[in-house]
Chain A
Amino acid sequence: MMQVQALSFAYRQDQPVLQEINFAVEKGQCTAVLGNNGAGKSTLIKCLNRILKPQKGIVYVHGKNIYQLKRKEIAKCFAYVAQHHAGARFTVFDTVLLGRKPYIKFEPAPEDFRIVETIIKQLNLEDLALRYIDELSGGELQKVMLARALAQQPQVLLLDEPTSNLDLSNQYEVLAIVREIAKKEHISVLMVLHDLNLALRYCDRFLFLKNNRIFAYGGMEVMTPQNIEEVYGVPVDVQEINGIKVVIPFPRNN
């Protein structure tokens, strides 16, 4: 459904961040983007919907070249949830309604309100609908941002470290919602994750970045101790406990 071809990006000419990135994802797949700090994970996510403009490469969604579309059209195709949120004084309802922006010509149509209603209900945000987002907890805010992204009715959902500010129960709740919606609405999800156990639990594709390139990309078969050690430089073991795969790291200097 989405193909990325020969994508290269650099903030400065002599320091490439991404080189020759090629991969494809299918409908309803959750893909974890993995790698060390500075490997270019966030940059890759931002290149896909042209928040950053790559020097080379093409992104196709359903055969359409994304880089030839207007920003507004891209926003109907991709939704992006940033790592940090500016907590402005907007209500939850207005924030989710803002997700309809690519579709709103002058004022929101009844259809827009109906979609916002549905999503708010889907994410259990009904009690918060009229609260200001600068008064929410980290977990609540993350869900609101997810709701705004879903209001864009995207085909691809891009999440930059969706669990970085969340406690244990919120991490699992948010990712479970993402996975469920991906499967139900046939949305492809790409998320930057640091926690390999969360990735194993909620993703079905894994993309390792190393030295500006894709080191490995595939299903569960690429989540081997060898690959993880090569990418992160930490020896690990991958075990199965109660049918759940977990990664156990063994740092050398301990």
Chain B
Amino acid sequence: MKHLARYESYIRFKIVFLLLLGAAVVLMALWAVSAGSADLSLKEVVATLLGRGSRQASMIIFNHRLPRIMTAIVAGVGLAATGCAMQCILKNPLASASTLGIAQGAAFGASFAIIVLGAGLQNQTLDGITIINPYLLSTCAFISSMLSTLIILGLSYLKRVSPESMILAGVALSSMFAGATTLMQYFAADVKVAAVVFWTFGDLGRTGWQEIMIMTVVVLAAFLYYAFNRWNFNALQSGEDAAKGLGVNVTGFRLLGMLVGAFTAAIIVSFIGIINFIGLIAPHLVRRVIGNDFRYLLPAAALMGALLMLASDTAARLVVAPVILPIGAITSFLGAPLFLYLVFKGIGGGK
């Protein structure tokens, strides 16, 4: 029984790591609430959150900062969890929601809504963009990003293609959507093109409490689905035949897992625009510490995603305040060097 005790302490290490990561997210969130163009002290923030703050502080926090921060956390959790699941399902370290053409699909849908259906315009205020019909825009972005996923999953179901082929199909469809978007922009008026470009940057300030509720429900459902299937994910890591031998219905599980991930990512992207790299990088960052065991990898990746989103958003708001930089640009800009570092240190760790 000696090594069972050692195993338990090894598991305890993972749990401690998760708790630390969770604490980091909470602290980061509190700091993000307090930091900004109107400085609030941490004390004020806590008092306001407990319902004992001044009216002005309540206004700033509940109308401006808290929705942003909730959006960052929910989107971070959602993108990281789906990225983590897709990397396991496709057995490819490069897989994430963007791999299935979701980002490019959403960009196409948004362009279509703005340029053809007239859902938004560029204007001269600081916000830079007026979305005339946000629901039309989100709906178009969602439909078009799901379209690319459904094409890929449909093909893979009919022709029983390998995970590698699914990724290649995603690359092909991404390129097709990007081409179509470019063509549409080429013939569009400047103000509309500017609005499209602005939309694709990604912005956490677009979401109200209602959108946040929708996102939270979807992300929570996806997370629970993945958590419920954690042993299936672990089995899948040992190879397709081995997973079948362990009693996993591989084909069905793979399709449903991808569908859940794509749906979640598409919802997030169509509400807040394109956020790169979070879904790709968050799982890799924690995998080095926590290993491939999906029981711990999933929550760790989700927390890391939330942390990265909060950090990026806070950076986006503070670097050249009061101008808010587009968060999509920040995550790409900071994500790429981090990713390069991981690649050269060896993804998966230890090798």
The answer to whether A and B assemble together is yes
A interface residues, Cβ below 8 angstroms from B: 46, 49-51, 70-76, 78-82, 84-86, 88-91, 93-95, 98-99, 101-102, 104, 113, 117, 120, 126, 129-130, 132, 134-135, 149, 152, 158
In the assembly, what is the distance between CA of A102 and CA of B247, in Å?
6
Q: Which residues of B contact A88 (CB under 8 A)?
A: 237-238, 292
Contact with A along B304-317 (1 / 0, CB 8 A): 00000000000000
Task: Identify which of A98, A129, A135, A149 contacts B231 (C-beta below 8 A).
Answer: A98
Q: Which residues of B contact A70 (CB under 8 A)?
A: 247
Decide: A89 and B349 in contact? CB cutoff 8 A.
Answer: yes
B interface residues, Cβ below 8 angstroms from A: 1-4, 6-7, 10, 91, 231, 234-235, 237-239, 241-242, 244-249, 287, 291-293, 348-351
Q: Which residues of A contact B7 (CB under 8 A)?
A: 91, 93, 129-130
Task: Identify which of A73, A78, A126 contacts B3 (C-beta below 8 A).
Answer: A126
Number of inter-chain CB pairs below 8 Å: 99
Task: Identify which of A71, A95, A149 contacts B248 (C-beta below 8 A).
Answer: A71
Q: Which residues of A contact B242 (CB under 8 A)?
A: 80-82, 85-86
Task: Identify which of B2, B3, B241, B246 contacts A75 (C-beta below 8 A).
Answer: B246
17 further contact pairs, Cβ within 8 A, besides A80-B245, A85-B239, A93-B3: A46-B241, A49-B244, A50-B244, A72-B247, A75-B246, A78-B245, A86-B237, A86-B242, A88-B238, A89-B292, A89-B349, A98-B231, A98-B246, A101-B248, A104-B231, A129-B6, A130-B6
Q: Which residues of A contact B241 (CB under 8 A)?
A: 46, 51, 80, 82
Decide: B293 and A82 in contact? CB cutoff 8 A.
Answer: no
Decide: B248 and A130 in contact? CB cutoff 8 A.
Answer: no
In the assembly, what is the distance between CA of A46 and CA of B350, in Å?
34
Q: Which residues of B contact A76 (CB under 8 A)?
A: 247
In the assembly, what is the distance between CA of A75 and CA of B250, in Å?
13
A78: nearest chain-B partner, CB-CB: B245
Decide: B291 and A85 in contact? CB cutoff 8 A.
Answer: no
Q: Which residues of A contact B10 (CB under 8 A)?
A: 91, 130
Decide: A75 and B231 in contact? CB cutoff 8 A.
Answer: no
